[in-house]
Copies of this chain bind each other. A is one copy, B any other.
Amino acid sequence: MLFKQLFDQDTWTYTYLLADAETREAIIIDSVIEQVDRDLKLIDELGLKLIYALDTHVHADHVTGAGTLRERTGAQSGVAAVAGVSCVDQNLEHGQKLSFGSYELEVRSTPGHTSGCLTFVVQANGQTMAFTGDALLIRGCGRTDFQQGDSATLRNSVYSEIFSLPNNTVVYPAHDYRGHTTSTVGEEKAHNPRLGNNISEEKFVKIMDELNLAYPKRIDEALPANLACGLKIMEAGL
């Protein structure tokens, strides 16, 4: 399998490109609209055919590139069905599997940061990879105070759908703000200061309640744009 982790410095977002090295069919996860030209250049250089442009959730901090990638490549866009993004091609459900070449991407429902958060699980080269979006970050997790977020739900999602994976599963989050690029399930179970060490629901909810985070600075722009697959922002000339 071909695999690339890409970073958007302005929004600290990781985008992932996965492809079957034989068939060249590719999936992109959590693309950023400002990086679409970079990503398409890489896809072209590697001789890949993009078939899916997926988002782990409706992002509040950047605008997805999925709609633009669909327009420019014919790829199908996809996000959780419960997120209510009517313009996507794939309304993803827990347990659904998407094929790219000989590989499969498994959809797991991991709500809590938003009501529609997904984790994508891929097996490749004898390794399990988990694209956890904002549900599980490296030594952290997404906030739970917007977009139907719910701390108890997030804890349950992480424990039942991510921490249940093998300890050597590589965790690829949607963001990191300290320069980490990857983690593992075993590392997060042991060292995640919010979610690790079998923290109780009560303690986790208290931690999240006391975060007192600032209002997300791009939410008023990003949410409506992402509910329109990232296309409305283009039409408005932004």
Contacts and interface: CB of A to CB of B under 8 A. Distances in A.
Interface of A: 4-9, 12, 15, 35, 38, 42, 45-46, 178-182, 187, 190-191
20 contacts: A4-B180, A4-B181, A4-B182, A5-B181, A5-B182, A6-B179, A6-B180, A7-B179, A7-B180, A7-B181, A8-B179, A9-B9, A9-B12, A9-B179, A15-B179, A35-B179, A38-B179, A45-B187, A45-B191, A46-B187
Nearest to A178: B38
A29 to B, nearest CB: 14
A interface secondary structure, majority: mixed
Given A7-B7, A9-B9, A45 B179 contact: no
Nearest to A181: B5
Nearest to A38: B178
Nearest to A6: B179
Nearest to A46: B187
A5 B180 CA distance: 7
